[in-house]
Amino acid sequence: MSDLAMSELNHAVEFRRGRVPLLISMPHPGTRLTPAVEAGLVAQARSLPDTDWHIPRLYDFAAELGASTLAAGYSRYVVDLNRPADDKPLYATATTGLYPSTLFDGEPLYRAGREPSAEERARYLAAVWTPYHQTLADELARLQREFGYALLFDAHSIRSLVPHLFDGRLPDFNLGTNAGASCDPLLAERLQAACAAAPAYSHVLNGRFKGGHITRHYGQPENHIHAVQLELAQSTYMNESEPFAYREDLAAPTQALIRQLLQAMLDWGREHYGRG
């Protein structure tokens, strides 16, 4: 018997359909755990420190823009929705896999011998990973049918200092377009210009974070699907130490810039395709 009961499957994703050709994907804000995962975690993992905290709250203006939103309910410790199903590594440098075995600081995620079984993990792939990606693919297909194109914004955040994953302090706004392969270059230029117009924040395009599986797999500009990842430094909107509190004083101006980025995507789409 799986520890992921059928009654829990409706918590795997939260999807809201919008009215414009933009889908905001949020694969890592989830905090739900399965019993097997929760029972095996080391003490320092129980606070879920590697969560993309408060991302749905930070993007709560999406409905006003008319964007569709898709958010994960389960923690990345159960299964990482931004990794391919075959668990092929995305980066040559340190990273975590489809079923994370380490924390972002490189320490083991599970106590010795307490990892979920292969059978359980296959269940997580089917019951958590697959519904998210099926919903994502279906919505992009719908947008493309309705508008002739689709825009995908993959929303992430991470602590600004994670020595095991990257050197030094992370820029505030880390845009990723799979080294230019996941969206039209003019769209990327628009986003960079929006960041440059906000000098209070540092930014980079295709730096340490070039986009994970979602950006790389779904971004197909030749098929009129344009994908961009934003890896946001958490210091721009929250306290990075426990209890990981949301900071409205920090979040409000950060949220305003994110909104400008999304509006820039929509404006570019209307200008480029003549609709939207």
- Which pLDDT score, from 0 to 100, does residue 199 have? 96
- Which pLDDT score, from 0 to 100, does residue 7 have? 45
Residue 14 DSSP label: E
Q: Which helix (H) or strand (E) holds 204?
A: strand 203-205
- Which pLDDT score, from 0 to 100, does residue 6 have? 42
- Which pLDDT score, from 0 to 100, does residue 1 have? 36
- Which pLDDT score, from 0 to 100, does residue 90 have? 61
User: What is the signed CA dihedral for 78, 83, 87, 91, rounded to 10 degrees?
Assistant: -130
CA angle 59, 186, 29 (to 5 degrees): 20
CB 157 within 8 A of CB 232: yes
CB 97 within 8 A of CB 84: no
- Which pLDDT score, from 0 to 100, does residue 89 have? 65
Kindly report the pTM of this predicted structure. 0.94
Residues in Cβ contact with 205 at an 8 Å cutoff, skipping those fewer than 6 apart: 175, 176, 177, 188, 191, 192
- Domains observed in the chain: 6-273 (3.40.630.40)
Q: From first to last of the 276 residues of the chain, give the pLDDT tens digit.
A: 345 544 455 579 999 999 999 999 999 999 999 999 999 999 999 999 999 999 999 999 999 999 999 999 999 999 999 999 997 766 555 467 899 999 999 999 999 999 999 999 999 999 999 999 999 999 999 999 999 999 999 999 999 999 888 888 999 999 999 999 999 999 999 999 999 999 999 999 999 999 999 999 999 999 999 999 999 999 999 999 999 999 999 999 999 999 999 999 999 999 999 988
Q: What SS3 class is residue 253?
A: helix
- Which pLDDT score, from 0 to 100, does residue 95 have? 62
